[in-house]
Amino acid sequence: MRPVTLARAVYQDVRGKQTTPRTDGDHLSAAIDWLFHSQEVTDCGGSAAYYGLLTGWAGPYPETSGYIVPTLYDYAEYASSSTILGRSTEARHRARRMADWLLRTQLDSGAFPGGVDPDPGSDPSVFNTGQILFGLVRAFEETGDEQFLDAVERAATWLVDVQHEKGYWDQFDYRGEIHSYCSRVGWALLEAHSVTGNDVFLNSATTHLEWVTSTQTDDDWFEYAAFSPGELPYLHTIAYTVRGLLEGGLLLDDERFVTTARATADRLLKCQREKGVLRGAYNRSWNGSDFYCLTGNAQTALVWLRLYERFGDERYLDGATTEVEFLKRHHRLDEQSALRGGIQGSQPVWGPYMRFRYPNWAVKFFCDAIMAKSRVERA
């Protein structure tokens, strides 16, 4: 793929150039190709964190590679029921290679490191360890390889050991802050419990999700949803918080968590209906920013699709479809470059979230949203 100049990418956004949407399958195929290529450029098995217009391809990122593994396995299943069977085999092979690489990044403590292309002396990270659990659990379920199960046990044990007695994590997390979006770590611990049967992980997850629930205000806002106090939370981290609570509630069959997550998801649906496609960040009065965070658009579509599956409310399907169609208009399929199949961090590309970069997690959630939409439409 040929490199992309910053000037050309900015010029496209200044002009408001958009892609003419094609079928969901066409966009999914291009996005999966981009993820495949993000693995090839690292030459280690991990997925490159992003493509930067100023810097090119970044190094491999354990955190997001961790939750890209389930996406690749999901795509393998999706492709196996269609005319692209060869793609299914390739996706499965790549998922296993990515999971094997993750094993090599695990620290002696059982934790996984923060940052891109970490070295063995890197500091451990709570959130990254949780996200990598998703990949390890799925790799064990798909392969039966006990190496993955052992890694799950060690990683989840470390998370429990460093958890505050009140349920949150106040050490070893991003910027040393408390985060309600660690609900995704709680969800990951429930996944660890599902394959290990270790009730310590179940109890730890439940305690954390109860704490996250306690941070929701009367206007459906979550305290600690931003990266740091005093900052506006991106739609990305708001959706992280909601999804972790929702999935945790569904796994536990606990309506407290489902109801809490649904309240904020409904608030976002109201924002969409009043103002159009969801904006990139919100303040506590639910006023949106002047840019879009495309990762968050995809994540919120996923939340609404999960709620549609649970409650059958057509508003959720309509809302998710609106977000997916918006993403398709900003998913470039018309050029042979590193941008083809990628999703930029912000729209416009100079917006504050992942400025001038195309993160692999935006593509991952876009793929997940398209596959989830396909699933509910077939049901």
Classify residue 242: in a domain, yes or no.
yes
More confident residue, 356 or 16: 356
Q: Is residue 172 part of a domain?
A: no
Per-residue confidence (pLDDT) for residue 237, from 0 to 100: 98
pLDDT tens digits, 107-163: 999 999 999 999 988 999 999 999 999 999 999 999 999 999 999 999 999 999 999
pTM across the whole model:
0.96
Number of domains in the chain: 1
Give the pair of three-digit tokens for residue 9. 């990418």
Q: Is the pLDDT of residue 3 over 70?
A: no
Asked, for residue 322, whether it belongs to a domain, the answer is yes
Tokens of 144: 């039966």
3-state per-residue secondary structure call for the chain:
CECCCHHHHHHHHHCCCCCCCCCHHHHHHHHHHHHHHHHHCCCCCCCECEEECCCEECCECHHHHHHHHHHHHHHHHHHHCCCCHHHHHHHHHHHHHHHHHHHHHCCCCCCCECCCCCCCCCCECHHHHHHHHHHHHHHHHHHCCHHHHHHHHHHHHHHHHCCCCCCCCCCCCHHHCCCHHHHHHHHHHHHHHHHHCCHHHHHHHHHHHHHHHHCECCCCCECCCCCCCCCCCEHHHHHHHHHHHHHHHHHHCCHHHHHHHHHHHHHHHHHHHHHCCCCCEECCCCCECCCEEHHHHHHHHHHHHHHHHHHCCHHHHHHHHHHHHHHHHCCCCCCCECCCCCCCCEECCCCCCCCCEEEHHHHHHHHHHHHHHHHHHHC
Q: Is the pLDDT of residue 1 over 60?
A: no
Cα 209 from Cα 184, distance rounded (Å): 9
* Mean pLDDT on 71-88: 87
CATH number of 226's domain: 1.50.10.10
Per the DSSP assignment, residues forming a β-bridge with 293 are: 346
Q: Mean pLDDT, the chain, as a whole number?
A: 95
Instruction: Report if residue 350 sits inside a domain.
Output: yes
pLDDT tier for residue 11 given thresholds of 50, 70 and 90: low
Residue 19, pLDDT score: 83
Say yes or no to pLDDT of 180 above 90. yes
At residue 332, does pLDDT exceed 90? Answer: no
pLDDT value, residue 337: 81
Q: Looking at 14-18, 21-25, 113-117, 190-194, which range is the least confident one? A: 14-18
User: Does residue 253 fall inside a structural domain?
Assistant: yes
Q: Is residue 153 part of a domain?
A: no
Specify which residues 50 forms β-bridges with.
359
Identify whether 192 is part of a domain. no
User: How confident is the model over 281-329, as pLDDT tens digits?
Assistant: 999 999 999 999 999 999 999 999 999 999 999 999 999 999 999 999 9
User: For the residues 221-239, what does the mean pLDDT come to?
Assistant: 97
- The average pLDDT across 192-206 equals 98
Task: Classify residue 70: in a domain, yes or no.
Answer: no
pLDDT digits (tens, 9 = 90+) for 245-270: 999 999 999 999 999 999 999 999 99
Confidence at residue 334, expressed as pLDDT on a 0 to 100 scale? 79
Predicted local confidence at residue 157, as pLDDT: 98
Give the domain extent around 242. Answer: 215-379
Lowest mean pLDDT, pick from 16-20, 66-70, 133-137: 16-20
Q: For residue range 353-372, what is the model confidence (pLDDT) as tens digits?
A: 999 999 999 999 999 999 99
pLDDT in tens, 265-275: 999 999 999 99
pLDDT attached to residue 335: 73
Instruction: Tell me the C-alpha distance between 238 and 187, whole Å.
Output: 15
User: Is 90 exceeded by the pLDDT of residue 373?
Assistant: yes
